[in-house]
Amino acid sequence: MSNQKAPNSSEAPENKGYRGRFAPSPTGPLHFGSLVTAIASYLEARCNHGEWLVRIEDLDPPREVAGADTSILRALEAHGFEWDEAPLWQSSRLDLYASALNKLHRHDLAYICHCTRKQIRALAKPGPLGLIYPGNCSKKKHLFDTRHAIRLRTHEHAISFNDKLQGRTELNLYNDVGDFLLRRGDGLAAYHLAVTVDDALQNITDVVRGSDLLLSTPCHIHVQQCLGYVQPGYTHIPIATDKGGKKLSKRGGADELNSGLAGANLVRGMRFLGLRPPVDLENAGIAEIWLWARDSWTIETLRGVMERPEIGHLK
């Protein structure tokens, strides 16, 4: 384990089997909702004799908190997580995202968008991922540069995938999302581009993340298809929510985990994920807790959590 930044590479590493990842944003400290995702992705990787990586998704400076990346890594270490490669910071990979954008433009798959939010709101209809882009700039021949927003062209063929937990999911991007952003108007790489490029170049074979990102996955698959990437497997797990049913998040003020109670935190997270650790396990050492979890884990436990949504609400 190390806080050293991983070197950049435009070449995917040799496939060594299962490769999973945990990709927090440094907008605050590690909280229970993020811990749940980390536990599930970690156990899936380890129980499949695979590797587990950590990626810091620091592409939104206005929302980031100074020192949060280091705080998250220290909290993960305190909870016994062990990553197999040096953590990767997205902010060090801007040239790779720019290269992907240029490739998409060369094949007429991406274009510059000069639309303001006000212009889009005036014409757009609501969709499952927000306002459906009405295509204002799709036929205009703006000079391609890095100072404006860039969108990816979509098509009318539905994109579907089979999620390990959620089953078959399908979305018609052209009708339900529109041409979506790959680069924001402020010059920052958009989430759909960065996460797809990094999953491909890190050779991630399986993505385990919250179900709030389920309908974003067709966007990522479309980017993969346009760039010639291999599609990973997907598992979207139930998300932890507060008493009002709202997702726990750093932006929502979710409480920081107390690393001094790492054992209790892990056991609580494992219970959320449908496991049934003995009452006294939280008083055991971290290594013993993980050993019990690895012997007990199966992704099927999450089906019970999905069938009993009240488990997803913290009391």
Domains, the chain, ordered by start:
19-93+203-213+227-312 (3.40.50.620), 95-193 (3.40.50.620)
- pTM score: 0.88
Higher-pLDDT residue of 91 and 251 is: 91
pLDDT in tens, 125-140: 999 999 999 999 998 8
| Most trustworthy range by pLDDT among 163-172, 216-225, 242-251, 273-282 | 216-225
**108 to 219, 250, 301: CA distances (angstroms):** 17, 38, 45
H helices present in the chain, as ranges? 32-47, 68-78, 94-106, 117-123, 173-176, 191-201, 217-227, 262-272, 286-296, 301-307
pLDDT of residue 186: 87
Q: What are the tens digits of pLDDT across the range 43-52?
A: 999 999 999 9
Please give the pLDDT value at position 245: 61
pLDDT at position 248 is 59
Nearest to 216 by CA among 224, 226, 228, 205: 224
**Greatest C-alpha distance within the chain:** 66
250 pLDDT exceeds 70?
Answer: no
Distance of alpha carbon 193 from alpha carbon 199, whole angstroms: 10
pLDDT 10s digits, 254-303: 678 999 999 999 999 999 999 999 989 989 999 999 999 999 999 888 88
- pLDDT value, residue 244: 59
